[in-house]
Every structure is written in structure tokens, then in C-alpha cells.
Amino acid sequence: MRLSRYLALSGVASRRQAEKIIAAGRVQVCGAVITLPQHRVKAEDRVTVDGRAVKPVVKKDYLLLNKPSGFLSTVKDTHGRPTVLQLLGRTGTRLYPVGRLDLETTGLLLLTNDGELAYRLTHPRFGVEKKYRVRVKGIPGPAVLQKMARGIILEEGPSAPAKVRLLRRSRKSALLEIILTEGRKRQVRRMCAACGHPVEELRRTGFAFLTDSGLESGSYRRLSGAEVRRLYRLVGLEQQGSS
């Protein structure tokens, strides 16, 4: 199989992130540094990442975390800041966030060692919806909401169409619901800022069909087998996941 897929199945990272790890020269196959994600790996090959041997994961795990503010959505931080893994304690498996929520953003974050599923859940091609509650400064009018829904020109190009609606307004701010099918870095914040309505508070309330109902801030739960199978079907994977 392709080296990038081998790393994803080994729980190293999502397939997209695995490609970056390979390109950085951190992966060796049978003692040789490999920088091409498409390199073919045999079952008997010894694969290491940063000197640590890895093999495809047999038991897969899927956790849904209600992330509080002040935690990074990463495995480790070079500056010693707290990460979401510190909220999990010992889970028995090495898990990685599916996509990211920035430091201040709260809400749903999926963590797993199932790299193939993680790749499909975050790739825009599969159209998996992420729902956000967003408090912004000022009151966006209908024209602004339509502009955000059609797509905003960002530094790297236009954002994909989104679903945007006004939920409530107060004297100086408004509460919006924004549903995206892509996940660029700080996308919601950048979209709102580009329209003249900076984000004051941001929370992810939905990921695909998963919601934050009954999940307190800082707590997590394992997905049920039925939920994992539904995620697999959603992104067109035939292999049944297990929890």
C-alpha cells in the first residue's frame, strides 16, 4: 500500500498530515529515508517515524470531545501549552484530532487513530458538515449574510459556499449559525472579519450528525458502533469501523 496510507492506518496522523510528515524526511522504510507519499510499502517492511517503529492499528478508537477554551487541538506543543490530549487521560490508544479548533474556539472535536476515516471527514471533497454558533460584533444585514453564504475571498482563494443564518441579535452583537463543508485555518473567524464583523465567541456545535447534546465542556465520550458505521457510510467507506 502507499506509505501515506500505511501511516494513516498506523494511527500516526490523518493521510493528509502523513504526507507532510513524509515530505519532511521523518519516515524511513527498511532504514532508508522516504519522502514520497506514494512509495509502496510491503507487509514485511520496517517503517519508522522519527525513529519509532509503526504498524497498522488493529483496534481503532473514536472519541468525541467537548473542547474548552485554552487547549490546542494538537498532540503536543513545542511551547508547553496545554493540548486536548491532556483532557483525555489514558485511553489505551494513541489518538489524533480530526481537523482542528483554534485555542480560543470551543466545542466538538473528534479524536481517533483511524487515519483513513479522519482523512475523509476533513477533505472538502466529501462535504462533511461542521456547524458553528458564532457571536460577532455588530449586526450583519441580509446582504452580508448572503455574501458569506456565497463564499468569501480569502488570502488563498474563495471559500466554498456555506449555510449562514442570523439566530439572535442584541444592541451591539449578533449570534449566527454557520455550517461549513471545508476546514481552512481559522476559517470562520477570517470570513467574519472580512465582512466587518469580528468574532467575539465561537463554538462548534455539530460535526456531521454528531452534536454536543449532553456533553459538558471538557468531557468526552466514545462513539458507539452504530455512530462509527454511520460515519463510514457518510464518507463512502465500505469497511466497517469498530469501537
Cα distance from N-terminal residue to C-terminal residue, the chain: 24
For the chain, the farthest-separated pair of C-alpha atoms sits apart, in whole angstroms, at 65
| Under 8 Å between Cβ of 222 and 243 | yes
Residues contacting 156, CB < 8 A, separation 6+: 184
Distance (Å, rounded) from C-alpha 151 to C-alpha 160? 5
Q: Tell me whether residue 212 is one of the annotated catalytic residues.
A: no
The catalytically annotated residue of 45, 50, 77, 102 is 102
Identify any residues that bridge with 52 across adjacent strands, giving them in sequence order: 49
Give the Å distances, CA to CA, from 151 to 96, 187, 227. Answer: 30, 11, 31
Cα–Cα distance, 126 to 123 (Å, whole number): 6
Positions marked active-site: 102
